[in-house]
Amino acid sequence: MQHECLHAAVTSLTRNEGEHYDSYNCLKRLPDDVKNCRNYAYLQEIYDAVRSTDSSRTKEFMAKLGEYLILTAFSHNCRLERAFKCLGTNLTEFLMTLDSVHDVLHDQDDQQKDEQTEYEAAFVCTTSREGKLELHFTTESEPVAYLLVGCLRAVAVRLYETQTDIRLMSYTDDPRKFRYEINAVSINQRASEEDSDEDGETVHTTVHASSTNVADLKIGVASFCKAFPWHFVTDKRLELVQLGGGFMRLFGAELANHGSALGTYFRLLRPRGVPLDYREILKRLNTPFMFSLKMPGSAEGLEIKGQMVFCKESDSLLFVGSPFLHGLEGLTGRGLFISDIPLHDATRDVILVGEQARAQDGLRRRMDKLKNSIEEASKAVDKEREKNVSLLHLIFPPHIAKRLWLGEKIEAKSHDDVTMLFSDIVGFTSICATTTPMKVIEMLENLYSVFDIFCEELDVYKVETIGDAYCVASGLHRKIDTHAPQIAWMALRMFATCSFNLLTNSEERVETIGDAYCVASGLHRKIDTHAPQIAWMALRMVETCAQHLTHEGNPIKLPLHQLQRESPSINRMLVIVKQLRIMTIAKQFERILTWLRII
């Protein structure tokens, strides 16, 4: 970003004032696209190119480039101009604030460096005896020092309507240090002076000098110490001459034994690299100061952050600050209390707000944990609900299951025309006695899974399965006229499944024609030829009659009730069965169809 602004300033300067700098064609050799050149020393390249062309006007060109740099940056970014203007109400305040801003930016850029890295003040603004401003600037780059001259001129005119005459001087003993003598005159003040000269009138201003007498103070020492408990005053020798109530409570009793030297009780943390020296502190008055206590005890290491003020009346230094604490634990851990912080100090609010935020964070974490547990419980409930819904759909017709799940009341209904089918495995008790339970379960699972598929294909309703009993109804879940043939087809398909998918042992698969075997796959027991296996029936009466016919029926035969035989749909189906008989080769299936036909 800085390369782009600098390139725009160079372009604007050569375009607007090309007649003054027409000899600097060497700048055309510099790259036009510097957006991606992060480590490129663009300013140094400009400085070297200009100096090689005309060394006598190098400083003038760099100063002019500084003016265009400020104007170009402000025109492209209005927020930058507002940020610069908020540094002070006039040029003097602006220059005095530069070092503190540079200190913050320096910390952000060098976060990976050691905290104890020492560096000198970059900007030190003082006032000479003649009343002129003096800015002491430290930099490793000479072009930056020349560029700063134009930048200061542009800032003074653009932000504060002040004309400046800047004289740049370098130190012979240290080439990194530069001194700027700034003679600043407000444009409005200059215009008023010119008007007064034309009118011939002179305005006299009386300035009253500040008193150095302690008795002239408008506030007493005790009141000041109470209002600012975290302050101290030192003389030129950095001897403590006054302490606030907070410091007195922490180490006031030690003054008689250890003396009043500032370095005995405090360690200077910021600005980094500044020794505890009166003159060095004066250079950094516009930088935030941070001290830490050195005295052993619970308050050892307590950090105090504040401002250092030069008291010209007594040539002393006044430090006004407040404890730099991290929450309520940092306060109590140092042996301090909320009452030790004055009401006007924002530190009190920071601590309380921090504790409130911490409590809110804890509550938020608990709420998040509760939310997660509720979501998990809700997922578990949904999972159980799906199981219950699927179970209801297995037991009841879909429309009945839906109403049951919604909690609606189900009224009993009477069905005039329904066909029921009951079946069981003949000899199931003996099978269970000679086979393991898991084999029996596997047998029923395989058999009933195929039967369930037949129920869906033929649109019949499975009422229930209890043990070896399998009950099917047609015309119950949906009113139809062909319920009797559907049940008959269901029975025939069940016969076919039992006859053509049987295993005698683990080594041989048998397709039975005249003999009957156990339905369960994997069983090793062969049933006698005359032993009954499955009994089926279909009827158009109530359940008790169907059960009675089941007990009296013949194995692998399908008895029909008299009313069912008179059904036209059954008669039509018997004709179809007769035709199918010609196509059937298996004698077992032929015997089933013949039984159904001759009833």
The pLDDT of residue 560 is 52
Rounded Cα–Cα distance for residues 31 and 25 (Å): 13
Helix H or strand E encompassing 389? helix 346-395
- In 3D, which of 441, 233, 423, 229 has the Cα closest to residue 345? 229
CB 524 within 8 Å of CB 505: yes
Q: What is the SS3 assignment for 75-129?
A: HHCHHHHHHHHCCCCCHHHHHHHHHHHHHHHHHHHCCCCCCCCCCCCCEEEEECC
In sequence order, the 6+-apart residues with CB closer than 8 A to the CB of 90 are 160, 162
CA 465 to each of CA 58, 220, 391, 452: distance values in angstroms, whole numbers, following the listed order? 104, 101, 14, 11
Q: State which residues of the chain have pLDDT below 50.
A: 112-118, 501-546, 548-549, 561-566, 574-599
Helix H or strand E encompassing 242? strand 240-243
Cis peptide before 398 (omega within 30 of 0): no
CB 344 within 8 Å of CB 353: no
The pLDDT of residue 150 is 92
Q: Where are the alpha helices (DSSP H) in 428-567?
A: 428-434, 437-458, 483-500, 543-552, 562-565
Give me the torsion for CA of 251, 256, 261, 266, rounded to 10°. Answer: -10
The pLDDT of residue 123 is 83
The pLDDT of residue 4 is 77
Rounded Cα–Cα distance for residues 597 and 599 (Å): 6
In sequence order, the 6+-apart residues with CB closer than 8 A to the CB of 497 are 447, 450, 451, 454
- Strand, helix or coil for residue 29: helix
Helix H or strand E encompassing 359? helix 346-395
- In 3D, which of 190, 181, 206 has the Cα closest to residue 127? 181
Query: Which is it for strands 231-234 and 534-539: parallel, antiparallel or unpaired?
Result: unpaired
Rounded Cα–Cα distance for residues 223 and 229 (Å): 10
- Strand, helix or coil for residue 318: strand
| Mutual angle of helices 78-85 and 58-76, in 10-degree steps | 110
What is the side-by-side strand order in the sheet with 316-323? 240-243, 231-234, 316-323, 303-311, 289-293, 266-270
Q: What distance, in Å, lies between the first and last C-alpha atoms of the chain?
A: 101
Give me the torsion for CA of 50, 51, 55, 56, rounded to 10°. Answer: 50
The pLDDT of residue 20 is 63
- pTM of the prediction? 0.51
Q: For the chain, what is the total number of helices (H) and then of strands (E)? A: 22, 16
The pLDDT of residue 157 is 92
